[in-house]
């Protein structure tokens, strides 16, 4: 593997590393979907078992690993971080499992319903061998969905059923997947799969058609189960309640926050952002308000792209440009990390997301845009900040550089450790950093940055307020939160199409605690930078800070950064020592630990951020 100028001599593998690596090896045996997301070969023909017995097997693996960790001794700071991170992540996963949250998992974005289908996006389908593997996995979809139904029934027997709104929306997703113009039908008409006459034999073609047909029938049965059996048992209330929310907040943040204080801070931060947007609106057109300025930007040909080919080329150009501008100046970017691939996703959900590279970088990190059906016009003023978020200095730099650091980190640290607040917090910090560095001085692009920040701040308020039962803001009438008040609040602070925002609201209601992790995570990253800067004084170097922070990898709670298990050391203390690892990587991001499914310990929250990052 190519190294960069700062690479260290490989660190010897310790007993703690062996425990971490063994856990990852066992995990991917239980979760082939995880293996595919991580780029670990040998599992692409299989799909996870989502039955109660499989969740029990995951729990057993975590328990055995925690026992091994209890008897392990750290030999350096890196081991100390690994011990703290694994204990925190695995223990929290056990708490969510004990609460029944794994088996009841069903929501519009991050549950087995989506994970079973989404993994196919990462599977190439160009050669005969690839299509055979694709079809082999597709034949496993019916069994995976059947096992999932088994868990949903088991949870329901204990009174654990996701709210009615989520069940209805997921039923609709099944209908769309199996429609004549849906994803599964499109598979058979795509050039890469409908390969008769292009080298794929008739038997293989028949196998693909049969597998897709079986998967379509299975999703249709899944929709029937949700509609006819689960929906009548689903509660009307969207809120999960304060106790469950506190657990999920810890899970997604990797930190315990004061929910009342954070709720108040979210409202104050939203007011600050709104005032800044009003000032930028004045720059765009004197006398205009925010919505008028946005209408002007939407109509400006200078910000318009026509068709997905233009969109893809623009994404790639901006991602490559950011890498070129930042490498060697503001960030140390290893050579393999300087490649990112921008793609139009095969689905049509409206999501923009990132998937990380394989361990050997033969599969690069990728930025995906899932363009809704019928959408052909795109505004770059909104989306430049999204490219920063998903690419460099956002998720691609963070995730791919962590994968690259084999001389420092064990495989679990590099590939599987993740906390939403840390990862999504970093990506939001990256957006702000680009503005600080002068890349968002154009008023239109600046409005796009602030518009995204407004959405992230609004969902801190909405998510915490609805699920914890806090008093609603005066602007929506105060009192108890309702769906209508939540919708009114979201529409007031997010300037996006109604269908996008309806999906976003369903996401917040069905995935408690995840959406605030972006903005709260950014807050914690900024606090950490301020603390290190104050501690180091004139010796503080922002490039060195970023290097040390990224070398930590993913997934540790805030107290670690404070020095409980090592810290970002002053530059003078590091002289000649190479990059140090501090115990934290602030509250983190993706799916590498999504409580919606312990069998997918992160796949949704980690590298796949949301429908509207």
Does any domain span residue 48?
Answer: yes
DSSP per residue, 175-216 = HHHHSTTSHHHHHHHSTTT--BTTTB-HHHHHHHHHHHHHHH
- Condensed to tens digits (0 to 9), the pLDDT of residues 264-298 reads 999 999 999 999 999 999 999 999 999 999 999 99
242, 271, 504 from 469: Cα distances, Å: 7, 21, 20
Query: Which whole number is the average pLDDT over 217-246?
Result: 98
Task: Tell whether 290 is covered by a domain.
Answer: no
- What 3-state class would DSSP assign to 458? helix
Q: Tens of pLDDT along 355-401?
A: 999 989 999 999 999 888 788 999 999 999 999 999 999 999 999 99
Q: Which domain holds residue 43?
A: 16-237
The predicted-structure confidence for 135-144, as pLDDT tens digits, reads as follows 999 999 999 9
The larger pLDDT score, comparing residue 450 to residue 3, is at 450
Q: What is the Cα–Cα distance from 213 to 542, expressed in whole angstroms?
A: 54
- How many residues can be counted in the chain? 613
Residue % of the chain over a pLDDT of 90: 75
Q: What's the average model confidence in pLDDT over 46-54?
A: 98
Cα distances (angstroms) measured from residue 293 to each of 277, 382, 432: 10, 12, 21
Label residue 441 exposed, middle or buried (CB < 10 Å: 0-12, 13-18, 19+). Answer: exposed
- Which residue bears the tokens 């028949």? 206
Mean pLDDT over the full length of the chain: 87
How many domains, in total, are found in the chain? 1
Give CA separation, 353 vs 103, 392, 590, 599, in Å: 26, 13, 10, 21
Torsion sign across C-alpha atoms 100, 104, 107, 110: positive
The pLDDT score that the predictor gives to residue 6 is 43
For the residues 507-526, what does the mean pLDDT come to?
96
The owner of tokens 């087995």 is 112
Q: pLDDT tens for residues 248-267?
A: 999 999 999 999 999 999 99
> In the predicted model, is pLDDT for residue 46 greater than 90?
yes
How confident is the model at residue 568, as a pLDDT?
33
CA distance 110 to 211: 24
Helix orientation angle between 483-493 and 498-510, rounded to the nearest 10 degrees: 130
Residue 192 predicted with pLDDT over 90: no
Look at residue 554 in the predicted model and tell me its pLDDT. 65
Asked if the structure places residue 23 within a domain, the reply is yes
8 domain-assigned: no
Phi (first) and psi of residue 441, to 5 degrees = -75, -25
pLDDT higher than 90, residue 440: yes
Helix axes 290-299, 259-284, angle to 10 degrees: 60
* Residue 520 falls inside a structural domain: no
Does any domain span residue 39?
Answer: yes
Cβ contact 359:384 at 8 Å: no
In this prediction, residues 152-166 reach a mean pLDDT of 98
Q: What is the pLDDT of residue 334?
A: 92
- Tell me the pLDDT band of 9, cut-offs 50, 70 and 90: low
Mind listing the pLDDT tens digit for each residue in 113-142? 999 999 998 898 888 888 899 999 999 999
pLDDT band at 496 (very low <50, low <70, confident <90, very high): confident
What is residue 602's predicted lDDT score, i.e. its pLDDT? 32
d(CA 171, CA 169) in angstroms, rounded, equals 5
Higher pLDDT, 204 or 157: 157
- CA 576 vs CA 78, 203, 385, 572: distances in Å: 17, 62, 36, 9
Q: What tokens were used for 2?
A: 């190519």
Residue 232, pLDDT above cutoff 60 = yes
The predicted structure's pLDDT at residue 566:
28
C-alpha dist (Å) from residue 457 to 271, 463, 521, 605: 9, 10, 11, 18
Instruction: Please state which of the ranges 68-77, 94-103, 108-117, 193-202 shows the lowest mean pLDDT.
Output: 193-202
**478: which 2 tokens?**
């105060």
In a domain, 126, yes or no: yes
pTM higher than 0.85: yes
Q: Kindly compute the dihedral angle of the four CA atoms of residues 141, 143, 148, 151, in this order, to the nearest 10 degrees.
A: -170
- Let me know if residue 153 belongs to a domain: yes
Give 395-426 as a 3 state SS string.
HHHHHHHHHHCCCCCCHHHHHHCCCHHHHHHH
Query: Is the model's pLDDT at 608 over the cut of 60?
Result: no
Residue 604 has pLDDT above 90, yes or no: no
Q: Tell me the mean pLDDT in the region 478-487.
A: 98
pLDDT of residue 572: 27
Q: How far apart are CA 476 and CA 492, in angstroms?
A: 10
Residue 201 confidence class, pLDDT cut points 50, 70, 90: low
pLDDT band at 310 (very low <50, low <70, confident <90, very high): very high
């Amino acid at each position: 593997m190519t190294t960069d100028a700062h690479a260290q001599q490989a660190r010897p593998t310790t007993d703690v590393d062996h425990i971490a690596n063994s856990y990852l090896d066992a995990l991917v045996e239980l979760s082939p979907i995880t293996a595919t997301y991580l780029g670990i070969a040998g599992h692409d023909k299989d799909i996870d078992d989502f039955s109660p017995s499989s969740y029990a097997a995951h729990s057993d693996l975590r328990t055995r690993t925690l026992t091994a960790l209890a008897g392990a001794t750290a030999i350096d700071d890196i081991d100390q971080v690994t011990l703290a991170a694994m204990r925190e992540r695995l223990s929290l996963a056990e708490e969510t499992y004990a609460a029944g949250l794994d088996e009841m998992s069903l929501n519009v974005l991050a549950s087995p319903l989506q994970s079973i289908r989404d993994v196919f996006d990462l599977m190439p389908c160009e050669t005969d061998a690839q299509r055979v593997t694709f079809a082999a996995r597709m034949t496993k979809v019916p069994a995976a969905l059947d096992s999932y139904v088994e868990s949903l029934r088991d949870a329901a027997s204990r009174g654990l059923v996701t709210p009615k709104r989520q069940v209805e929306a997921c039923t609709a997703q099944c209908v769309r997947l199996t429609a004549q113009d849906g994803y599964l039908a499109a598979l058979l008409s795509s050039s890469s799969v409908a390969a008769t006459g292009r080298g794929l034999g008739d038997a293989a073609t028949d196998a693909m058609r049969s597998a897709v047909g079986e998967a379509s029938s299975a999703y249709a049965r899944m929709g029937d189960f949700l509609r006819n059996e689960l929906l009548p048992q689903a509660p009307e209330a969207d809120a999960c309640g304060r106790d469950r929310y506190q657990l999920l907040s810890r899970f997604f943040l990797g930190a315990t926050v004061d929910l009342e204080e954070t709720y108040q801070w979210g409202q104050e931060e939203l007011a600050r952002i709104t005032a800044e947007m009003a000032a930028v609106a004045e720059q765009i057109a004197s006398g205009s308000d925010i919505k008028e300025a946005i209408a002007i930007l939407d109509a400006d040909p200078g910000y318009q792209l026509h068709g997905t080919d233009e969109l893809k080329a623009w994404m790639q150009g901006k991602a490559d440009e950011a890498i070129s501008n930042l490498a060697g100046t503001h960030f140390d970017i290893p050579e393999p990390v300087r490649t990112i691939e921008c793609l139009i996703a095969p689905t049509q959900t409206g999501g923009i997301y990132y998937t990380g590279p394989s361990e050997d970088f033969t599969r690069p990190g990728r930025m995906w845009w899932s363009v809704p059906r019928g959408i052909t016009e795109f505004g770059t003023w909104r989306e430049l900040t999204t490219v920063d978020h998903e690419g460099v200095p956002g998720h691609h730099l963070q995730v791919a550089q962590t994968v690259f650091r084999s001389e420092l980190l064990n495989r679990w640290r590099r590939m599987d450790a993740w906390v939403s607040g840390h990862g999504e917090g970093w990506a939001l910090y990256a957006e702000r950093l680009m503005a600080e560095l002068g890349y968002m001085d154009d008023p239109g692009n600046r409005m796009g940055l602030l518009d995204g920040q407004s959405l992230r701040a609004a969902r801190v308020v909405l998510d915490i307020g609805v699920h914890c039962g806090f008093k609603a803001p005066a602007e929506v009438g105060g009192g108890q939160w309702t769906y209508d008040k939540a919708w009114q609040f979201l529409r007031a602070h997010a300037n996006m199409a109604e269908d996008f925002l309806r999906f976003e609201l369903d996401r917040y209601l069905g995935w408690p605690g995840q959406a605030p992790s972006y903005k709260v995570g950014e807050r914690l990253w900024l606090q950490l930078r301020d603390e290190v800067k104050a501690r180091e004084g004139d010796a503080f170097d922002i490039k060195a800070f970023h290097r040390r922070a990224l070398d930590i990898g993913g997934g540790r709670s805030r107290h670690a950064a404070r020095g409980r298990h090592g810290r970002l050391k002053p530059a003078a203390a590091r002289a000649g020592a190479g990059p140090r690892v501090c115990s934290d990587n602030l509250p983190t991001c993706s799916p590498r630990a999504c409580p919606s499914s312990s069998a997918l310990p992160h796949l949704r929250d980690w590298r796949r951020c949301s429908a509207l990052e």
